[in-house]
């Protein structure tokens, strides 16, 4: 019986610094706080699903280094069943996240080589998954997971963030839901004149649903069977840290879609989008990236007080 959410993709060790404002020239900038955190697209989404109270397995690759060991321990402590294989001689990705007083962030990332050196994903590790979420950082792993999900009728989603166009062109047709960031959509369809045209290109390629997250402007989405452009506005909040908000959105949307009736409708999907927008908004009111993701009860309480 299906029993868990399965995430396949990137994770990285991170250092989160809070500062007052970004400098306009090279200088020393004092930080108000510092914390070592787990991060990366798949890891952030896994943390969110665990905070929502869901069983979640994270499949990925890390180096046999201190950053990899930290990720394994930190994710396990947060309730994620981490299935992060250590690659001998590999290096784990690491990031420094700098957040200013307005909640805006800059990320300085060194992408390790553990995923590039990784052994192929065994789809046996996906058996029992209720839903699958992938990202383009591990292209081969994402492709294998999405093909498996389509073959067995399992809900699947691609977090289509910025990546080489050929990687996105390989993965988008395999996903049931291709959910882009705006920069990711630009990478996928750079010649499209409108968002609607770019989303239509993803549907023409084989995705069943295509969406684009727009930060404080909300989300737009379309379906393969009816090319109507739907939209949900973002909730107005006072942001203190936007780090990981997109990853939280993807995880919350996957969770909400998994709870919908088998016979889905635009009304049900709008409720799922509303839930995901609320989860992302609440995350932005908390610090430390995805560590600030809300619980299910917190999202539902927020929605009760924000009926729009």
Quick: pLDDT tens for 214-251: 999 999 999 999 899 999 999 999 999 999 999 999 99
Report pLDDT for 181: 98
Q: Under a CB-based contact definition with an 8 Å cutoff, are residues 159 and 135 in contact?
A: yes
Longest CA–CA separation in the chain, Å: 57
How does DSSP classify residue 136? G
The CA distance from 269 to 283, in Å, is: 21
pLDDT digit string, tens, across residues 10-48 = 999 988 899 999 999 999 999 999 999 999 999 999 999
pTM for the full predicted model: 0.94
Its CATH architecture, for the domain 4-22+30-113+121-300, is 3-Layer(aba) Sandwich (3.40)
Q: Under a CB-based contact definition with an 8 Å cutoff, are residues 194 and 205 in contact?
A: no
Report pLDDT for 103: 83
Place of tokens 């060194």: 110
In sequence order, what are the beta bridge partners of 221? 211, 230
The CA distance from 198 to 210, in Å, is: 9
């Amino acid at each position: 019986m299906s029993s868990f959410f399965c995430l396949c993709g990137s994770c990285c060790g991170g250092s989160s610094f809070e500062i007052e404002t970004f400098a306009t020239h090279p200088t020393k900038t004092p930080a108000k706080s510092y914390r070592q955190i787990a991060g990366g697209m798949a890891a952030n989404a896994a943390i969110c699903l665990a905070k929502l109270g869901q069983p979640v397995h994270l499949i990925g690759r890390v180096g046999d280094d201190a950053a990899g060991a930290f990720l394994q321990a930190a994710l396990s402590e947060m309730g994620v069943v981490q299935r992060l294989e250590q690659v001998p001689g590999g290096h784990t990705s690491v990031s420094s996240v700098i957040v200013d007083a307005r909640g805006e962030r800059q990320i300085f990332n060194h992408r390790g080589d553990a995923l590039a050196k990784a052994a192929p994903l065994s789809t046996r590790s996906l058996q029992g998954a209720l839903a699958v979420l992938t990202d383009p950082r591990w292209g081969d792993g994402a492709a294998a997971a999405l093909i498996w999900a389509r073959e067995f009728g399992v809900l699947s989603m691609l977090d289509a963030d910025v990546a080489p166009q050929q990687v996105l062109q390989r993965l988008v047709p395999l996903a049931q839901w291709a959910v882009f960031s705006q920069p990711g959509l630009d990478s996928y369809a750079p010649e499209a004149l409108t968002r609607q045209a770019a989303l239509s290109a993803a549907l023409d390629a084989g995705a069943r649903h295509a969406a684009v997250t727009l930060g404080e402007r909300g989300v737009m989405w379309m379906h393969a069977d009816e090319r109507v452009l739907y939209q949900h506005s973002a909730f107005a909040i006072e942001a203190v840290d936007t780090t990981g908000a997109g990853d939280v959105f993807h995880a919350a949307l996957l969770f909400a879609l998994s709870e919908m009736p088998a016979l889905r409708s635009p009304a049900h999907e709008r409720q799922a989008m509303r839930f995901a927008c609320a989860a992302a908004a609440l995350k932005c009111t908390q610090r430390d990236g995805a560590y600030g993701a809300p619980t299910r009860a917190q999202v539902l309480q927020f929605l009760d007080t924000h009926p729009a």
